[in-house]
Amino acid sequence: MPETYTHTSVWHYRQGTLDSTPESTPIVREHAATLYVNGEPWLTFICSPIALEALAVGFLFNENVITSLEEVDQIKLKEEDRRIQVQLNHPAQKPAQFHRTSTGVSLQPHIAAHEVGADFTIQADKVIALYDQLMAQQKLHDQVGGFHSAALSDGESVPIIVEDLGRHNCVDKLTGLYLLRHATFIPRALLLSGRISSEMVYKTLALGIPLIVSRTSPTSLAVQIADTSGITLIGYLRKAQFDIYSHPERLIAA
């Protein structure tokens, strides 16, 4: 069974100092498992690779495809748990339409190999200042709770901010606003209030953004893609400190 988490290197920025030696830290793994029903692929779960049979059965029950376990003839995990094959004792209609709060369609990067912001460097305390601007400008989160916020920065200011109940919606809206406003600045940083999953990084590749910052955690796949693509990925930003998961060379200590 694939592991639910792995370890990665992280560089700390604390009290004005950027560590030169990374520490090892545990990190969530993203596992993609495709559900096949009666031989037909239905959808791919991005999940933790535990209780995958339960995930399939629970999903089919909750979606009203089955009403009891007796309708399930067989469940098999194949290809290192990347396929969950469910055989029912009756035909089932694959749903024609999906909805989402926080998922997309493809798992492939928008641009396979794209050297992002090779020339871009930034002072560590500037990262904190930009993130403070996002926090200061988010309104719904402070008034209501339950909202995510996200912003695009040129590395100096934070011209585009959005809020939405979904993390992924925020990123799509930022991209859309950037295009619809015919914004002319070069996007240098994506600032997020929520977790950094692989999709966030894939989406960032499309705009060639070299820096992603969040106050929460990234997943291991997000870090891997950021590392390969030359993106600096920062998590756990709190007041005057943060952790760097990839490409620390872009940061200059104050």
Q: Does 145 bind its own copies (CB under 8 A)?
A: yes
Q: Does 176 bind its own copies (CB under 8 A)?
A: yes
Binding letters toward its own copies, positions 66-95, x by CB under 8 A: --xx-------------------------x
Which of 10, 134, 158, 162 touches its own copies (CB under 8 A)? 162
Residue number, 106 or 184, with CB nearest to its own copies: 106
Q: Does 43 bind its own copies (CB under 8 A)?
A: yes
Contact between 84 and 36 under an 8 Å Cβ cutoff? The reply is: yes
- Whole-angstrom Cα distance, residue 15 to residue 11? 13
CB of 139 to its own copies, least distance (A): 10
Nearest CA among 182, 250, 180, 183 for reference residue 212:
250
Tell me how crowded residue 99 is: count the other CB atoms within 10 A of its CB: 6
Q: Does 163 bind its own copies (CB under 8 A)?
A: yes
Binding letters toward its own copies, positions 3-32, x by CB under 8 A: -xx--------------------xxxxx-x
Q: Give one DSSP letter per residue of 137-162, joined into a string.
A: H--HHHHHSS-EEEEEE-SS---EEE
Nearest CA among 80, 71, 30, 35 for reference residue 53:
35
- Whole-angstrom Cα distance, residue 53 to residue 234? 34
Q: Does 46 bind its own copies (CB under 8 A)?
A: yes
* Span near its own copies by CB under 8 A; candidates 119-127, 174-182, 183-191, 239-247: 174-182
Which of 102, 138, 153, 224 touches its own copies (CB under 8 A)? 102
CB of 249 to its own copies, least distance (A): 25
**Exposure of 23 in the CB half-sphere (CA atoms within 13 A):** 10
Amino acid identity at 128: I
Q: What's the length of the chain? A: 254
Which of 56, 158, 213, 223 touches its own copies (CB under 8 A)? 56
- Whole-angstrom Cα distance, residue 184 to residue 194? 26
Residue number, 53 or 80, with CB nearest to its own copies: 53
Which of 38, 177, 208, 241 touches its own copies (CB under 8 A)? 177
Q: Does 143 bind its own copies (CB under 8 A)?
A: yes
CB of 150 to its own copies, least distance (A): 11
| Six-digit token string for 116 | 């992002």
